[in-house]
Structure 1
Amino acid sequence: MPNSPDPTPLPLDHLVERAVANGHGDAPALVLRNLVLNHDGLRQRVDWLAGWLAREVGRKGQRVASWAAKGELTCLLPLAAARAGLIHVPINPLLKHHQVAHILGDSGAVMLIGTASRLKSLEAGDVPDTCRVIEEAEALEFAYDAALALGPSMADPADLCAILYTSGSTGKPKGVMLSHANLWLGAVSVAHYLRLQADDVTLAVLPLSFDYGQNQLLSTWYAGGSVVPLDYLFPRDVAKACAAHGITTLAAVPPLWVQLTEIDWPAEAIASMRRLTNSGGALTTELVGDLRAQFPQANLYPMYGLTEAFRSTYLDPEMVDRHPTSMGQAIPFAEILVVRADGSPADPEEDGELVHCGPLVAKGYWQDAKRTAERFKPAPAHSRYGGTAVWSGDTVKRAANGLLYFVGRTDAMIKSAGNRISPQEIEDAAVASDLVAEAVALGIPDSRLGHAIHLIVRGTQDQSERDTLAKILQKELPNFMQPHVIEWRDAMPLNANGKIDRAALYRERIGEKHA
């Protein structure tokens, strides 16, 4: 890669043109269970899928949603929708039907493409009348039979390209609006600082419905490399895939890294590994040590990001052993400021809010001006980029040597097993059961998960109803939102304003954990 990344964004679908233009057309690009596409074949299939979408959907700017496991459709659709002038709405395949219904309704999607089993789980009223539903196998068959050539798009890089739904600390998932430029420059930035090459092979184990996962595809293809998508059941499946495909790049979140350090790895899987990347939660000193021991020749990249600005910082691998708990410094195209409550710059070693400025900043929340105004605000006066910045709500500090360190969050967001989880979503599901009158969901620090979910509810003492609540939550919430502990109480503590004292409940849990 060049010494300095090119800051000029292009329409996202041009990623498939770039690899071919750079002479990588015959090199593997996408390795599926029963099919291997080189970059030229990837470009052709993206073109056909885009041509079919353009014919079937029509008007540019319409939203097309996908709800499927990793495979040909979910890997191609981000680029094909962009080429067709449409807006891709990837839905986490772990979500349940009522959450999918919210995303379809909120985004105004006119088409939902998904696996047959997931589509069958939808209930009456989940899909708006204006949304066409089609199975992924049929969609691909129709697209390739039609073989409509569309060619590279001429989209303005500032145009909206995707809406990624992410949980907030309150309410239902909100859609983060990303432009072609956001996604293109994110791919360029990551490919540059990871030093990705055309002979790199990335194992895509993270969900493609959120930015860290989707960037596995985009940054690798920008460099001309190859991606192997994997939906795994057990950690050993990851190790086996690494050995089978000569994986050089593996991205994960802390809970998965913990599991991966507890299994035996084939020698060939370790030998081929060049880099490990982490986001979705901080690495502990112990986990850094375990990873360095397991993969002594691989570079380890701790990173910090937020969907509203894709990614903010990374720590140079050469500094990991000396500063294992640091978030590092700004990635290319990002300006990271630490500011006081009045917007002035914090001094070294002084706590302040992390503010992300620059072209990676998203376009706000879809159809939510209120929440957009709360998070997307004018950059501090001392920003070199200016314009709109993301005020993260995270408290950090910058050491005298320039390295950043995470201090804590200012909201109630739960981060468990790499997932951002809204406490209110869990609480709403509990109250909707009609078995409890009040509910509070808390994220309690956990060495394996990041946060364990503790649900405290006020309600009946009847054991059968308690068992019923757990069953209802299993039906209504995805696995990663399931409470690890459900505590029943006769009364909730109240603060001076007469509201439930969440802080007191949290302190009780922390006290019990360390008792």
Structure 2
Amino acid sequence: MPRQPDPLARPLDHLAELAGSAGHGERPALVLRERTLNHNQLRQRVAVLAGWLAQMVPEKGARVASWAAKGELTCILPLAAARAGLVHVPVNPLLKRAQAAHILADSGAKLLIGTGSRLASLEPGDLPAGCAALGEGEALAAADAAALALGPSQADPADLAAILYTSGSTGKPKGVMLSHANMWLGAVSVADYLGLAADDVTLAVLPLSFDYGQNQLLSTWYAGGCVVPLDFLFPKDVAKACAKHGVTTLAAVPPLWVQLTEIDWPEEARAPLRRLTNSGGALTVDLVRSLRGMFPQAQLFPMYGLTEAFRSTYLDPELVDSHATSMGKAIPFAEILVMDDAGNVAADNEEGELVHCGPLVAQGYWQDPVRTAERFKPAPSASTYGGIAVWSGDRVRRDADGLLYFAGRRDAMIKSAGNRISPQEIEDAAIATGLAAEAVALGVADARLGQAVHLVVRGIEDEAARAELPRLLQRELPNFMQPQHIHWRNAMPLNPNGKIDRTALQVELDKEFAQ
């Protein structure tokens, strides 16, 4: 598919060189549990890991997967793999064995580096043929022993750099293909509109397997700043880390913001914060008020994005109080059009589909031309970028001032706690237990999660056997996919075509659990 070239794009691994060339080499870049790396040391670590990877997996364009918590490996691998001419496939550490095995097989990974306990959970046949598996400590030690440092690559910015797996409304997760240019320009864009600087400290609480999470690293390093990766158990851990490290930038999703507004924040945790950023779901007016009240000195950046185009819009912090429910306007390097059902640019205040054009648009879905063709299409004639655009499936409207407002989704995706969840993946897991003849997973509005997962099941009537279903789902699905409620039915409602009437079930649950 034709790509939109951009003269500002560079090979992704060049991010490791920027701070040194700008005179910030001695500034802290990455705060690990055992030590802190400055930017010069970060550059060296990227070079050494890249040299070892190139030796381990000499085939250019081969996929290297990671399945581990935040640490040195998961933070530097995106740049090291890019420098070695490889494609990084980060696996969400929250996923269970079955989901990880699907990603490894679908991507055709040649190397998996992960936490020992996660690797131990894999069963025979989970690794693709020819795929090696190493513990993260073993891999880093091997890289140090090899001492084969690679200098900055001369990769074509249009080359594939990463495959990020995201749930779709149907079926297994699909891999979104991101080029060096996609990720480089995403870092430049976010650093620009957030106003990141070399003295900024970003607390990376979001999973590094998501584009929003990875950009915490890339945009901060582009600006010469410092990243503190954190895997936390309790919201108070976030506040403690903010106080300890003088955090200036905190990114989260709405359910986490709710939890963070329910704890006490000491002044030493609040005072350094300069900016709060939100994506993965809309902020409510009440939540905006809470955040503005707790952190009056910090700018609040509500944002909207989709993995297929990284990020699309942000709301100027100056407008947050007066336009709290707006998605804002296009970020740098993005062109956002609202298209009506007739294929024309929608009029002001008319609902239409959000279409994202420009060099942040991904390269499609990995080895899935059918689904790629459904979402990635030629840009509308009104586009100034042209090329291929991503048709989001999200319904929005644009007011007379150009501000965008979310209206709803066209598909059946569930968005819970900032995660995009495939209903079919939950339904398939329920049916595979043998306890459900039919299953329907739906998202129901929830004040803390955005949407809670509800599972409607027709199956056996034995109460003891029914009690097994949650336990079996707990074994097969990650925590964020677990149903909050399971509803057993003797029969499912049917529509005129004889199919399960999902709309009727949705209306029934929405009414029953109305807030």
* TM bucket, shorter chain: over 0.9
Summarize deviations over 1:149-176 as a string: whole Å, max 9, x none. Answer: 2100000000000000000000000000
Unaligned stretches of 5+ in structure 1? 1-5
Counterpart of 2:385?
A: 385
Q: Counterpart amino acid of 2:213?
A: G
Give 1:502-513 correspondences, 5 Å limit: 502-513=502-513
Q: Secondary structure of 2:271's match?
A: helix
Q: Aligned equivalents of 2:467 and 2:495: distance in 1? A: 30
Q: Aligned equivalents of 2:456 and 2:351: distance in 1? A: 31
TM-score (normalised: structure 2): 0.98
Counterpart of 2:486?
A: 486
Counterpart of 1:350?
A: 350
Counterpart of 1:3?
A: none
Q: Aligned equivalents of 2:436 and 2:61: distance in 1? A: 43
Give 1:3-22 correspondences, 5 Å limit: 8-22=8-22
Q: How big is the shift at 1:342?
A: 2.2
Counterpart of 2:3?
A: none
Give 1:120-159 correspondences, 5 Å limit: 120-159=120-159
Q: Counterpart amino acid of 1:92?
A: N
Q: How big is the shift at 1:463?
A: 1.2
> Would you say 1:167 and 2:162 are equivalent positions?
no
Q: Counterpart amino acid of 1:497?
A: N
> Would you say 1:235 and 2:235 are equivalent positions?
yes
Q: How big is the shift at 1:511?
A: 1.2
Q: Secondary structure of 2:467's match?
A: helix
Give 1:246-395 correspondences, 5 Å limit: 246-395=246-395
Q: Counterpart amino acid of 1:388?
A: I
> Would you say 1:83 and 2:83 are equivalent positions?
yes
Q: Aligned equivalents of 1:511 and 1:74: distance in 2? A: 43
> Would you say 1:74 and 2:49 are equivalent positions?
no
Q: Aligned equivalents of 1:317 and 1:353: distance in 2? A: 25
Q: Counterpart amino acid of 2:487?
A: E
Q: Aligned equivalents of 2:442 and 2:151: distance in 1? A: 49
Q: Secondary structure of 2:486's match?
A: strand
Q: How big is the shift at 1:467?
A: 1.0
> Would you say 1:65 and 2:65 are equivalent positions?
yes
Summarize deviations over 1:458-482 as a string: whole Å, max 9, x none. Answer: 0112111111111000000000000
Q: How big is the shift at 1:300?
A: 0.1
Q: Counterpart amino acid of 1:114?
A: G
Q: Aligned equivalents of 2:300 and 2:63: distance in 1? A: 37
- Counting matched residue pairs gives 510
Q: Is the 8 A contact 1:314 1:331 kept in 2?
A: yes
> Would you say 1:436 and 2:440 are equivalent positions?
no
Q: How big is the shift at 1:129?
A: 2.5
Q: Counterpart amino acid of 1:104?
A: L
Unaligned stretches of 5+ in structure 2? 1-5
Between the aligned residues of both structures, percent identity stands at: 74
Q: Counterpart amino acid of 1:99?
A: Q
Q: Is the 8 A contact 1:398 1:405 kept in 2?
A: yes
Q: How big is the shift at 1:447?
A: 1.3
Q: Aligned equivalents of 2:393 and 2:442: distance in 1? A: 18
Q: Counterpart amino acid of 2:22?
A: N
Summarize deviations over 1:17-73 as a string: whole Å, max 9, x none. Answer: 111100010000000111100000000000000000001111110000000000000
Counterpart of 1:194?
A: 194
Q: Secondary structure of 1:510's match?
A: helix
Q: Counterpart amino acid of 1:212?
A: Y
Summarize deviations over 1:240-265 as a string: whole Å, max 9, x none. Answer: 00000000000000000000000000
Counterpart of 2:208?
A: 208
Q: Aligned equivalents of 2:124 and 2:473: distance in 1? A: 20
Q: Is the 8 A contact 1:202 1:226 kept in 2?
A: yes
> Would you say 1:44 and 2:47 are equivalent positions?
no
Q: Is the 8 A contact 1:7 1:185 kept in 2?
A: no
Q: Aligned equivalents of 1:296 and 1:338: distance in 2? A: 33
Q: Is the 8 A contact 1:417 1:450 kept in 2?
A: yes
Q: Secondary structure of 1:156's match?
A: coil
> Would you say 1:27 and 2:27 are equivalent positions?
yes
Q: Aligned equivalents of 1:129 and 1:181: distance in 2? A: 31
Q: How big is the shift at 1:123?
A: 1.1
Q: How big is the shift at 1:125?
A: 1.3
Summarize deviations over 1:74-101 as a string: whole Å, max 9, x none. Answer: 0000000000000000000000101111
Q: Secondary structure of 1:277's match?
A: strand
Q: Aligned equivalents of 1:198 and 1:496: distance in 2? A: 61
Q: Is the 8 A contact 1:7 1:333 kept in 2?
A: no
Q: Aligned equivalents of 1:125 and 1:139: distance in 2? A: 22
Q: Aligned equivalents of 1:302 and 1:440: distance in 2? A: 32
Summarize deviations over 1:295-330 as a string: whole Å, max 9, x none. Answer: 000000000000000000000000000000000000
Q: Secondary structure of 2:332's match?
A: coil
Counterpart of 1:458?
A: 458
Q: Counterpart amino acid of 2:208?
A: L
Q: Secondary structure of 2:372's match?
A: helix
Runs of 4+ in 1 over 2 A off after TM superposition: none
Counterpart of 2:182?
A: 182
- Root mean square deviation, CA, Å: 0.8
Q: Aligned equivalents of 2:35 and 2:413: distance in 1? A: 40
Q: Aligned equivalents of 1:318 and 1:462: distance in 2? A: 58
Summarize deviations over 1:431-480 as a string: whole Å, max 9, x none. Answer: 00011100000001111101000000001121111111110000000000
Q: How big is the shift at 1:513?
A: 1.9
Q: Aligned equivalents of 2:98 and 2:479: distance in 1? A: 14
Counterpart of 2:425?
A: 425
Counterpart of 2:449?
A: 449
Q: Aligned equivalents of 2:59 and 2:335: distance in 1? A: 36
Q: Aligned equivalents of 2:445 and 2:386: distance in 1? A: 36
Q: Aligned equivalents of 2:416 and 2:510: distance in 1? A: 16
Q: Aligned equivalents of 1:232 and 1:7: distance in 2? A: 39
Q: How big is the shift at 1:7?
A: 5.7
Q: How big is the shift at 1:9?
A: 0.6
Q: How big is the shift at 1:514?
A: 2.8
Q: Aligned equivalents of 2:97 and 2:239: distance in 1? A: 32
